[in-house]
Amino acid sequence: MEEARRRDIYFSFFMFTADLRPNDAAYTQVLVRHLEALTEIGYTGFDVHIAPGPAHADHHAEVESYISLRRAFDRAGFRDVKFTTNVGTTRSFDPTSPYEEQRKQALSYLKSRVDITSVLGGENTIMSGPFLYPYGIFPLTDDGEGIWSDALQDWMKPRYAAAASIFRELAQYSAEKRVKLAIEPVKNWETPGPTMVSEALDFLESADIPVCGVTIDTAQVVMESQGPAIFRKNVARAAQQSRLNYVHISAPDRGAVSDSWIPWEIMLDEIVPVYSGPYLVEVFNAIPPFESSMRMTRRRFWRPGEDAPEADVDSAYDVARTALRTLEEKIASHGRRSHP
């Protein structure tokens, strides 16, 4: 297990919440109890979602609230614990908008999320997520019909072009803050684009944004990809350009990682030799807003201290514990195959 111990393995707070509620002192204590349990299990860091807030939000006040939250974590004994963030853009904060004023608002929003990421994670942390095209927003024709296939690809081209200057400025700002950007392609029923790693890389190359990268998520790759050959090319392409900034380990059903349909050998054989950053174990629990937005039919993993225990249902901590063990074993197994 020597190679596994050298790897930072983080856990996503999507198991518990999509909103840290930084101004809620009572909820901060709930978060602290989860941090205590998960660090005891063996996780060295955590990924937290930064809720978008309303369109009229005071971004400076938002940043200040996360400064207070980080101080609360420090006082609770987590000064050395690492944090990354998950960020999405919205209809209001849309860097691909055809309207300049809206793109400027999106840039201000994204810079504030870089600031929050820096506050929580310090230097050389990561801001990941679907923060290029707004998450969950699909275009319609004037008649209210969906736009799909070739027409959708054509519709997206000017959107990517509109976002180019915004992302060049954002990337420069994040570099000054020592925050790595990692655009995460997500499934085609979550967003019209980018849905594949190759699309995110194409955008970064065509827009000439050298200091921005991508996230490779095992679930997204399995459900929305072109197969192992293209996966290998994309990993190599991202690594050669120093754009492989984050790796998420997630089951295709977004549930328990243990005994899931992750093609471990195919993925780790490509990723491990070229990636030295943290791995994130990402489990989406059947909690709001995921249960409706992702149309979850499986039962919730009960959250100690928040939900009543259920005899025949795994707890969030049990799922986290077995996921960590599984990933450590898979990385160690890769090491044995590579160095027999």
280 is a domain residue = yes
Whether residue 84 has pLDDT greater than 60? yes
4 is a domain residue = no
Query: What would the pLDDT profile of 323-339 be if each residue is shown by its tens digit?
Result: 999 999 999 988 777 76
3 is a domain residue = no
Q: Write a three-state SS string for the chain.
A: CHHHHHCCEEEEHHHCCCCCCCCCHHHHHHHHHHHHHHHHHCCCEEEEECCCCCCCCCHHHHHHHHHHHHHHHHHHHHCCCEEEEECCCCCCCCCCCCCHHHHHHHHHHHHHHHHHHHHHHCCCEEEEECCCCCCCCCCECCCCCECCHHHHHHHHHHHHHHHHHHHHHHHHHHHHCCEEEEECCCCCCCCCCCCCHHHHHHHHHHCCCCCCEEEEEHHHHHHCCCCHHHHHHHHHHHHHCCCEEEEEECCCCCCCCCCCCCCHHHHHHHHCCCCCCCEEECCCCCCCCHHHHCCCCCCCCECCCCCCCCCCCCEHHHHHHHHHHHHHHHHHHHHHHHCC
Query: What would the pLDDT profile of 286-310 be if each residue is shown by its tens digit?
Result: 999 998 888 888 899 999 999 999 8
- pLDDT score, position 4: 42
Rounded average pLDDT over 35-46 = 98
Which of 79-83, 194-198, 290-294 comes out lowest in average pLDDT? 290-294
286 is a domain residue = yes
Whether residue 255 has pLDDT greater than 50? yes
Rounded average pLDDT over 51-70 = 96
232 is a domain residue = yes
Mean pLDDT of the chain: 95
Q: How many domains does the chain have?
A: 1
- pLDDT score, position 293: 84
**Domain range for residue 269?**
9-338
Give the CATH number of the domain where residue 37 resides.
3.20.20.150
2 is a domain residue = no
Whether residue 31 has pLDDT greater than 60? yes
221 is a domain residue = yes
Query: What would the pLDDT profile of 122-170 be if each residue is shown by its tens digit?
Result: 999 999 999 999 999 999 999 999 999 999 999 999 999 999 999 999 9
Q: Give the tokens for residue 132.
A: 């290029």
